Structure 1
Amino acid sequence: MIKLLWVDLEMTGLDVEKEVIIEAAAVVTNNKLETLDQYHAVVKQPQIHIDRMDAWNQKHHKESGLVDLIPTGKDPEVVENELMALIEKNFDPKDRIILAGNSIGQDRLFINKYFSKVAARLHYRMLDVTSFKVVFNNFYQISYAKPQTQHRASADIQESINELKRYLSFVKI
């Protein structure tokens, strides 16, 4: 059975050289996009990273309540080890895991830098829902009315899965 590892990270910004991960969520799905397992954690980071977030990140992460949870979050090493436990539970050790998500290339940069054990298990191929969005929106004028989320990792993953299901509903093979 084909499985996908959906990941969404919330970060203090987009620059992988300056910013850090503040929330991580993962969902394992089968080829019918049914959830088999899931994980979520807020990542503890030094206050300096929170203080230097840009205005967009300050606004969204405060409104969602995420900023208030960071001081009591889990250490990044613990989060990586727990993600590895999820992977080891759901994937064969020889599997190169396909990473899935929306604009997943950005998350992959942070995974490569901060979660190297997770990165080592990933296939170079990724399933990026954004590619489907570009094709369906621009070629066929089919869109997905994405509900407003609070930019929290678990909700964002579920919306990405729902969005892919919408686009795939138009594919007849």
Structure 2
Amino acid sequence: MNRLFWIDMEMTGLDLNKEVIIEVAALITDWDFQVVDSFETVVKQPQHYLDNMDDWNKEHHGESGLTARVPKGMDPTNVEDRLVDMVYKNYARDDGRPVLAGNSIMQDRLFINKYFPRFANLLHYRMLDVTAWKIVCQNKFNLHYEKQGAHRALDDIRESIEELKFYISHVHASK
């Protein structure tokens, strides 16, 4: 397990039964958080998914410009192909399966399982959730990381990496 597979997705909402993925970003890093590979795309979806977004998603995805880019996005099948290719390109057989990393990564994993099953089948069952670090560090050590909250997938991944580095630096400094 020499590398982490960071992923963040923007969706039309959080309800797995009625929402879809509209943006995917992935960074593969080593354990020093140096980027080895990256991928980012907007995912094409039918207009009715955008029309039926709740107010929060309409506001945030509209302000970021994401909503306007969805009709010209990449086909979901091609997105999955690119993610699968990243796994084969960056993980040798002896490295094991990629560990997903990110904030509230289980939500992304649920959408991956549903919409990108070939990619899901390549992943390790373990995940590195920065949110778990946040909960411990905020409540046990009163450490608070101030997020920018851009709500664009690649920005969110970069912020998650910086957040984890922040927590690790405080754990390391306490030794």
Q: TM class, shorter-chain normalised?
A: over 0.9
Matches within 5 A, 1:51-70: 51-70=51-70
The percentage of counterpart residues that share the same residue type is 53
Matches within 5 A, 1:18-167: 18-93=18-93, 95-149=96-150, 151-167=151-167
Gaps of 5+ in 1: none
CA distance in structure 1 between the partners assigned to 2:148 and 2:46 by the alignment: 32
CA distance in structure 2 between the partners assigned to 1:25 and 1:145 by the alignment: 21
1:147, distance to aligned residue in structure 2 (A): 2.0
Corresponding residue SS for 1:170: helix
CA distance in structure 1 between the partners assigned to 2:23 and 2:87 by the alignment: 18
TM-score if structure 1 supplies the norm length?
A: 0.96
1:135, distance to aligned residue in structure 2 (A): 0.5
Corresponding residue SS for 2:79: helix
RMSD: 1.1
> Aligned pairs, how many?
172
CA distance in structure 1 between the partners assigned to 2:127 and 2:140 by the alignment: 22
1:84, distance to aligned residue in structure 2 (A): 1.0
CA distance in structure 2 between the partners assigned to 1:42 and 1:111 by the alignment: 15
1:72-126 Cα offsets, whole Å, 9 max, x none, are 0010000000111111111124621100000000000000000001100111110
Corresponding residue SS for 1:158: helix
Runs of 4+ in 1 over 3 A off after TM superposition: none
TM-score if structure 2 supplies the norm length?
A: 0.95
Equivalent AA in structure 1 for residue 142 of structure 2: Q
Equivalent AA in structure 2 for residue 129 of structure 1: V
